[in-house]
Amino acid sequence: MSDVVKRLRERREQVWQEAKALADRAAEENRNFSGEEEGQWQSLNAELDALDKRIKNVLDGEQRAKDAEDAMAKLRGEPRKQDGSSGQRGGFGSEELRAFARGEGGRHFDVLPSGPVNYRDLTKGSATAGGNTVPTSFYERLMAHLIETSAVLQTGPTVLNTSSGEQIQIPKTTAHSSAAITTEGSPITESDPAFGQVPLGAFKYGTLIQASRELTTDTGVDLEGYLSMQAGRAIGNAFGAHMVTGTGTGQPRGIVTDATVGKTGATAGGAITSDDLIDLQYSVIAPYRASSSCFWVVKDATLGAIRKLKGSDGQYIWQPSLVAGAPDLLLGKPIVTDPNVAGVGSSAKSVIFGDFSQYFVRLAGGIRFERSDDFAFSSDLVTFRALMRADAALVDLTGAVKVFQGAA
Task: Give pLDDT tens digits for 329-354.
Answer: 999 999 999 999 999 999 999 999 99
Residues found in the chain: 408
Alpha helices in 71-126 (DSSP H): 94-101
Please state the pTM of the whole predicted model.
0.65
Kindly state the average pLDDT of the residues 158-177.
76
Q: Is 96 helix (H, G, I), strand (E, B) or coil?
A: helix
Is 391 found in the same domain as 245? yes
Burial class (CB in 10 A: 0-12, 13-18, 19+), 295: buried
Is 107 found in the same domain as 17? no
pLDDT tens-place string over residues 60-113: 666 655 554 554 454 434 333 333 333 444 445 566 666 766 666 556 656 665
Per the domain annotation, does 186 fall within a domain? no
Residue 232: Cβ within 10 Å count = 24
- Which residue range(s) make up the domain with 217? 78-179+191-408
Is 13 found in the same domain as 161? no
- Say if residue 190's pLDDT is above 70: no
For the chain, the domain total comes to 2
Distance (Å, whole) CA 151 – CA 142: 16
Q: 234 to each of 147, 213, 239, how far by Cα in Å? A: 11, 22, 9
Residues 6+ apart with CB under 8 A from 391: 200, 201, 202, 203, 252, 361, 362, 364
Measured in whole angstroms, the distance separating CA 44 from the mean position of its chain's CA atoms is 42
Question: End of a domain among 68, 87, 120?
Answer: 68
DSSP 8-state code for residue 403: E
